Amino acid sequence: MNAMLKTIILLCFTAAVAVAVEPIPNGFGVNIHFTDPKPGEMKMLADAGFKWVRMDFHWGATEREKGKYDFRAYDRLMAALDEHGIRALFILDYANRHYDNGLSPYSEECRAAFARWAAAAVEHFKERGVLWEMWNEPNIKQFWKPSPSVTNYVALSRVVGKAIKAVAPREQFCGPATSTIDLKFLEACFQMGALEEWDAVTVHPYRQKDPETVLSEYAKLRALIDKYAPKGKHIPIISGEWGYSCAWKNFDEERQAKYLPRQFLVNLMAGVPLSIWYDWHDDGPDPKEPEHHFGIVRFPYFKERVAPYDPKPSYLALQKLVAELRGYRFDKRIETDNPDDFVLMFRKNWQTKYAAWTTNAAPRETIVGGRRLTLTDVPLYVEPFRRKP
């Protein structure tokens, strides 16, 4: 990263970082794909350090008969989360066979039905700390059928946002959960007024390169949000889904373990208050299927064990990050003589600690907090050197 680009990025994030920063690990979360956790699963998830889960809140599964809603599966999930002090980001998503031929909403009737269902769900779970998200990756045809339509998406989002605020004005609503940081789709949403209802902008910054490369994209997105946001309304960026598959080319479990803490730390540096890792556990055993290997625990479940999954190195890397920086808040990035170095200062009351690493291919020596350290692509956590009196 050249020096000029680094300066631009840091200037763009000044306002975002000025917002109240939550202590670690309050902004760390993970995607799940269940409403009924297996025995021991939630404890192991909580023990990793996660304070949030992100989960689909399916319209078709909760309105099987027109106008009748059944949220009991999510009642069970919420009870399991509450037991471990974990909050939910629920994705209001997907079609319903009773409306618009089972396609993504395009008619007034379908939008109104979706909004009634969404408002009922929000009212059912209000004041329980849920963050509600408008759909999942509507910018790709896999999730907005038959093909993406920013016009139809925003029309739905605005109707839903108004319905939610009418029944539960204090609940938080966000979107659009784009696949990648799709600036064209995002700006179109903003131009159509989506930021009037959204309390945060969610994106999925997937990439097969270093997490730090997201910074320039965040800077561009931050500028767009500030351009279109209602006057006086600060709208944060949320990293709503982002991970690395161990089955991608040139990836393995060790590389995933290096990237997970760096991803979370870079997001904190960028003023991103909530980071959701994809995924909790591997989705299958096929060694050549990338979708099977985003998890931080392996696929097999062992019901007889207290910790029912085998942790991958990324699970242990997250535990280390949380153990080292629990209760600390991000303060600032410390300049070094090389823009590839990331030295982040954290504070907890009067205490100071650093997380430090480099994206350089070769280890580098530098001074951090009065200590001479060798930086590698794995974060170090160090306290500043203090002379004995």
Q: Cβ of 322: how many Cβ atoms within 10 Å?
A: 20
* Averaged pLDDT for residues 118-142: 98
- Return the H-helix or E-strand segment holding 334: strand 329-334
Nearest Cα to Cα of residue 375 among 353, 359, 387: 359
* pLDDT above 90 (res 202): yes
Q: What is the mean pLDDT of the chain?
A: 94
Quote the tokens at residue 51: 């304070």
Asked if residue 107 has pLDDT above 80, the reply is: yes
Residue 129's Cα: distance from chain center in Å?
Answer: 16
Residue that is written with structure tokens 């060790």 in the block: 254
- Tell me, what's the pLDDT at 369? 82
At CA 207, angle to CA 32 and CA 7, rounded to 5? 115
187-191, 280-284, 381-385: lowest mean pLDDT where?
381-385
Q: How far is CA 117 from CA 88, 92, 125, 167, 220, in A?
A: 18, 9, 13, 12, 35
Provide the token pair at 238: 């949320």
Contact 271, 19 (CB under 8 A): yes
Count the Cβ atoms, other than its own, within 10 Å of residue 82. 13
Q: Sorting pLDDT into bands at 50, 70 and 90, what band is 387?
A: low
pLDDT at residue 8, rounded to an integer: 38
The two counts, helices (H) then strands (E), for the chain are 11, 14
Longest CA–CA span in the chain (Å) reads 76
pLDDT at 29: 99
Cα end-to-end span (Å), the chain: 41
> Please, are residues 270 and 327 in contact by the beta-carbon 8 Å criterion?
no
Give the mean model confidence (pLDDT) for residues 308-337.
98
Per-residue tokens: 282 = 């591997």
| Distance, CA of 92 to CA of 271 (rounded, Å) | 25
- Domain segments of the chain: what residues? 3-327, 330-382
pTM for the complete prediction?
A: 0.93
388 pLDDT above the threshold of 70: no
Helix ranges restricted to H, the chain: 3-12, 14-17, 41-48, 59-62, 72-83, 108-124, 150-167, 183-191, 214-228, 253-269, 313-325
Backbone phi, psi, residue 267, to 5°: -60, -40
Residue 171 has pLDDT above 70, yes or no: yes
For residue 368, what pLDDT is reported?
87
Half-sphere exposure of 299 (CA within 13 A, CB side): 12
| Sign of the alpha-carbon dihedral angle for 185, 190, 195, 199 | positive
Q: Point out the least confidently predicted range of 106-110, 149-153, 292-296, 337-341.
A: 337-341
Residue 389 confidence class, pLDDT cut points 50, 70, 90: low
Residue 16 scores a pLDDT above 60? no
CATH code of 3-327, in short, is 3.20.20.80
Q: Which amino acid is at 158?
A: R
pLDDT in tens, 34-81: 999 999 999 999 999 999 999 999 999 999 999 999 999 999 999 999
Q: What is the mean pLDDT of residues 307-321?
A: 98
